Amino acid sequence: MTCSRCEDLQAELDRVKARLSELQPSLTLDEEMRIRNRLRLNRQEWLLVRALWEANGRPVRTWHLKKAVCPDNPTIEESRIVRVLIYRLRRLFGADAIGNDWGVGYYFTDKGRQVVKKVMEAR
C-alpha cells in the first residue's frame, strides 16, 4: 500500500514520460539500420547518435550518455568513453555538428541534425 503523495508523484512521472515520448522524434528500425550502415558506426557510436538525436537538440548529460552507451558496464570511467565517442563523431560529422554546454552536456547542433536527417532521407 502506498501513500497518496507517492501515488501523486507516480501519476506525475507517468504524465511526464508520456509527454517526453510525444516530443522525441523516434527512429524506426529501418532508419536506424540505414544510418548505422551508411555512416559505418559501431554499436557504441550508434547508441550515442541515437541518444543525441532523441534529445532533439537539448543537451544530454555525460552521465546519461554513458548509461546509453554502456548500460551493462558501470566500471568504465564515464566521461572518458563519452569524450572518445564524441571525438569520433565530430570527425565524422564535422567539428561543429555536436555542441557542448559546459557543465550541462552534449547536443546535436542544427548542422548535426541536418547531417543525420540527410542520411535518413537518402535512398
Is residue 47 within 8 A of residue 71, CB to CB? The reply is no
Give the global pTM.
0.69
Q: In angstroms, rounded to a whole number, what is the distance separating the alpha carbons of residues 55 and 106?
A: 10
Q: Which amino acid is at 117?
A: K
The fold of 27-121 is Arc Repressor Mutant, subunit A (1.10.10)
Band (pLDDT 50/70/90 cuts) for residue 119 is confident
What pLDDT is attached to residue 88? 92
Band (pLDDT 50/70/90 cuts) for residue 25 is low
- What are the boundaries of each domain within the chain? 27-121
Judging by beta carbons within 10 Å of its beta carbon (0-12, 13-18, 19+), is residue 15 exposed, middle or buried?
Answer: exposed
Band (pLDDT 50/70/90 cuts) for residue 67 is confident
What pLDDT is attached to residue 21? 54
What pLDDT is attached to residue 20? 54
